[in-house]
Amino acid sequence: MHRTDLRSILVVAAGLALSLAPLACGDDGGEDGAAEPTTASDEPTSEASTQGGEPGTGTTTASEETGEDPPSSSDSSSDSGEPPVCVTEIACEDALVLDLGFVEGVVSEGAVESTPDGDGFVSQVDASAGGLPGAPMNPWVYLRFGDDGLERVDIDDFESLGSHDWHIAAKRFAIRLNGGTAGPSCVQGAALDGMAYEAVTEVPAGTELAPEAFFDDACTLVDDGSGQGSPAYLLTPWWTYPGCVATTGVPFVLGLPDGRTLKLVVDAYYAEGQAECNEGGTMGQDSAHFTWRWSFLE
């Protein structure tokens, strides 16, 4: 079966599955300002199912290439024309498309803005994807960390399977890195539980960065343990759910394919009212309008 035929089948199947999922009556719909869902299962389960796919996974650096043609989902050159530093085989591509609700032919128009903040940036990211009811028809927003701030990479979900230009992507509460089970590059990360963002000046000794790994060898989804059936993204510890999507303040260190590292913390999920959510479990306004703080490390 041709890849285009398979993608068409997967898109239809994913859209049908997501359209049948129960929708929360209280979601903000992306723009109308109504309240978020009022149960823990509403927001976290809006974008995940439990379909399977191909077994196996593997990662190689450019110097370790064997001369064989790379898999079609991992091009041998990046979108910018520069050869990639490394290539990851996305072994569970079919499951990735279904479980993460990929949308073909639609590029996110979510606004991304960065303001200098000391040695780093404060970035605003619109990952609302049309609100909870509209999320099945809307794509992830793809992003790249640069010297001038966080930049949006204008590709659709299927193009992300072969693109080395993005580092991180977001859709609603979900944040994924480009590598491992999530993309063709080699972005890695680690949570720094118990540390404050301001105290992170380098990758702490003994910290092991790892790629995304939310599928097992049988391409069965590995959930995050929250009881919601959500994928175990490396950045999942950024949030908790006391009746709303609260931020934990847990900082992360990320390693980029070019060897640079950075620190990142999610300060807000709501455009307004994050403090009230964190302190009292009260829904904020305009969900999935993130505020991230981040800075490159020496």
pLDDT digits (tens, 9 = 90+) for 13-41: 444 343 333 333 234 443 333 334 333 33
Report residue 85 as tokens.
């530093």
Question: Position of tokens 């993204």?
Answer: 233
C-alpha count within 13 angstroms, C-beta hemisphere, residue 273? 17
Cα(51)–Cα(34) distance, integer angstroms: 32
Can you give the pLDDT at residue 287?
98
Which one, of 189, 279, 207, 202, lies nearest residue 243 by Cα? 279
Note whether 57 and 180 are within 8 A (CB). yes
- Give the angle 262-267-271 at the CA atoms, nearest 5°: 130
Cα(117)–Cα(15) distance, integer angstroms: 40
**Is the pLDDT score of 259 beyond 60?**
yes
> pLDDT digit string (tens) for 114-169?
999 999 999 999 999 999 999 999 999 999 999 999 999 999 999 999 999 999 99
> pLDDT digit string (tens) for 69-78?
333 333 334 4
Amino acid at 100: L
Global model pTM greater than 0.85:
no
> pLDDT digit string (tens) for 206-222?
999 999 999 999 999 99
Q: By residue range, what is the domain housing residue 10? A: 3-296
Report residue 1 as tokens.
């079966």
**Is the pLDDT score of 63 beyond 80?**
no
Split into its structural domains, the chain has a count of: 1
Cα(86)–Cα(114) distance, integer angstroms: 28
